[in-house]
Structure 1
Amino acid sequence: MSLIVGILLAAGASRRFGADKLTQILPNGELVAVQACRNLLAGTDSVLAVVRPGSKRLATVLRAEGASVVTCTDAEQGMSRSLIFGIRSCPDATGWLIGLADMPWIDPVTISQVANALRLGATIAAPSWQGRRGHPVGFSQALGPELTTLKGDEGAKILIQSYLEQLQIITCNDSGILCDIDKPEDLNPSKKFKKHS
């Protein structure tokens, strides 16, 4: 049976936000990371959340949602370190969906579509809204060795570029695939990207 694991990257430092953005409250009353985790859980078989040292409250609320939580001690070295740590923590998965904990508005249906593309044999899959590729990005187990050699804070962008011909784009009506939270005003979804507009 194929096992698609959602890896929730929740180890960022929130420098631009000025506080821990992942534990900020959204208009619906949920914490940012909790909503992102819940959406990822709804579309995958399980979720592994990667947090930074000292994130006890975040780890507690994510475990309460049903995620497994691991602490990446060298998260300061960039997003790639967290991604690698997550992949190495669940190496037997059929594929991984890389989700960002500061993107709480992705529709679970979109996440399911990306996961299903991996189940059906896609090497890489990603959603697209109005011609713009977004998150989460799914990777098959075949790319595990390359995923674990990434460096810096660019995540898997370089790997995606290397496999563009094998990238399966899933067109969706979900602007949430582009909406992340960098600043306090981002806690209210931008009028520019109204959900399902």
Structure 2
Amino acid sequence: MKVVGISGSIVGSKTKTAMSLLWEEMNKAYPNAEHVLLDLADYQLQFSDGRNYLDYTGDTAYVTEQIMQADILFIGTPIFQASIPGTLKNVFDLLPTQALRDKVAAIIVTAGSARHFLVAEQQLKPILSYMKAHLVSSYVFAEEKDFLNGNIINDDVHLRVQRLIEDAFDLAEAQASIRTKKEAEYDF
């Protein structure tokens, strides 16, 4: 099973901190999973111009190909101006419409205020659903008070991250079982 994480911003540190915690916990719980963590700050991505994702080169090709090969996606995003960052939206725009078919997507949101907790529900989940991802129904929301000195200090956030990982892997296994059963119905 291939797991791809996306830290969806090129600025700030809280989303990267949350994704690092998720990666650490995932490696403990599922040490045999093939995994790649993509911090968008480390890549020079081209703006989407409508081309097929296979026609891009360099960092853009690498990021899109990793996402297309994933079985599970963990998407970390900060909330800026009551919205997901344009860098993350651009990643989705680079991909085909049904790029996330048969993939499980789980979300971690970091925000400066509790007032932004619905951005994932109103913006990110509809995008992922439109792209045909199987969504983990709950997501992790961490706000300013959950962080101190570059670390997540709220034990509840740690527990929610562990549960998100478990739910994502369980959903991926269930979806794989369903696909196998459906494919077995065909005689060729």
TM-score, normalising length: structure 2: 0.37
TM-score, normalising length: structure 1: 0.36
**Bigger CA radius of gyration:** 2
